[in-house]
Structure 1
Amino acid sequence: MAAPRFTVPSLSLENGGKAAAILQERLHSLNDLHLTLKHVHWNVVGPHFIAVHEMLDPQVDAVRLMVDAIAERIATLGVSPVGTPGALVKARTWDDYSLGRASALEHLGALDEVYQGVIAAHRQAAADTESLDPVTNDLLIGHLHELEQFHWFVRAHLESSGGALSTAQAKTEQDAAREALDAK
């Protein structure tokens, strides 16, 4: 990522560049999440199809707004945001979403794993920007509120009335999909 030639007032070029680099990673992650959520929306089947299908569109829309806000913040910091598919794939440190046409519970199990990864990385980015740039930090914290709520919506389908999470032992999307399906 190129260093900025300008940034926001009272922020050094170095810190503006660091904040933009952190945000660029989040931009890739959220672009990937948006596409994954839409993929699930198109490929979910079974008795809970309509509930999951309709639950995901508002999440897709909200994540797209997060992407736009992050890209605009990167530009505000004096760096050109990169949102091309090739750049996303090249920078991605996680595997591509692995389920195709599958039941609602399988997709929700896999999405539990996806959201865990996205939220953990977003929390780290917020921590990394806390002393670097309070405006960027505030943006990320605001996104965390929504992402954690969406994760709760997903997990509500995977939780027993006693509070046990069917995917608690999963380490991969495939494991989580199987565990969610086996629990029901």
Structure 2
Amino acid sequence: MSVIKSPLPEADRKVVADALQGALVDLIDVSMTAKQAHWSLYGPRFRSIHLQLDEMVSGARAFSDAVAERAAALGITPDGRAATVATSSSIPAYPAGWVKDSDAVAAVVESLALVIARMRERVTSTADADPVTQDLIIGITADLEKQHWMFQAENN
């Protein structure tokens, strides 16, 4: 039961709920991955990558809030609890311990690539169900792709 009534038909609400919940988990996990990279980074490019990771974390956290609030506005309870993220995410675990700058960048690039692929699937799945949600996901995907490009440029 939802205390907030959705303007969407039930079938569309289910599609949108799945897309938003998946996006929420991915964004929370990618922000935690980037923060862990930020804390455990070392190497000659430490400062520039450290700062770039902070930008990525800020963006991912803002996007996760926008996704959760969109879900709530549609009567969908967002679930960003740590246990949910841990059991639902398919982003590879970030290495423990100190991580060399080039290895940290490679891990972030891999995580972003996986999230972007899933976000693009969500763009397609929400097209008919809810163009407003689709628009939100498109904007987030564009920014993630920009981050992906910028991190790839770090190691090439």
Q: Count residues with an aligned counterpart.
A: 156
Residues in 1 aligned to 2:59 and 2:89: alpha-carbon distance in whole angstroms: 21
Report the 3-state secondary structure (helix = DSSP H, G, I; strand = E; otherwise coil) of the residue aligned with 2:155: coil
Q: Which of the pair has the greater relative contact order for Cα pairs under 8 Å at 6+ separation?
A: 2
Alignment partners' CA distance in 1, 2:15 and 2:142: 23
Specify the alignment match of 1:7 in structure 2.
6
CA apart distance, 1:89: 1.3
Identity %: 33
Q: Any conservation in 2 of the 1:45–1:103 contact (CA below 8 Å)?
A: yes
Matched, 1:114 2:111: yes
Shift of 1:3: 7.2
Query: Please, which runs of 5 or more residues in structure 1 have no aligned partner?
Result: 160-184
Over 4 Å off, 4+ runs:
2-5
In the other structure, the counterpart of 1:135 is 132
Partner of 1:145: 142
Residue identity matched to 2:5: F
* Larger fraction in helix: 2
* 1:2-38, Cα deviation, whole Å (9 max, x unpaired): 7787212xx2122123201211011011100000000
Match of 2:100 in 1: 103
Structure 1-normalised TM-score?
0.80
Q: What amino acid is aligned across from residue 47 of structure 2 in structure 1?
A: I
Distance in structure 2 (CA, Å) of the matches to 1:77 and 1:68: 14
- The alignment yields a C-alpha RMSD, in angstroms, of 1.6
Please give the per-residue CA displacement for 1:111-159, whole angstroms capped at 9, x wherever unaligned.
Answer: 1111110100111111111111100000000001110111111011122
**Does residue 17 of structure 1 match 2:17?**
no
Mapping of residues 53-92 of structure 1, within 5 Å: 53-92=50-89
Please give the TM-score of this superposition, normalised by the length of structure 2: 0.93
Q: Give 1:103 shift.
A: 1.2
Of the three residues 38, 42, 58, the one matched with 1:41 is 38
- Over residues 149-171 of structure 1, what are the superposed CA-to-partner deviations in whole Å (9 max), with x where a residue is unaligned? 11111011122xxxxxxxxxxxx
Look up the equivalent residue of 2:6 and give its one-letter code.
Answer: T
The answer for the alignment partner of 2:123 in structure 1 is: 126
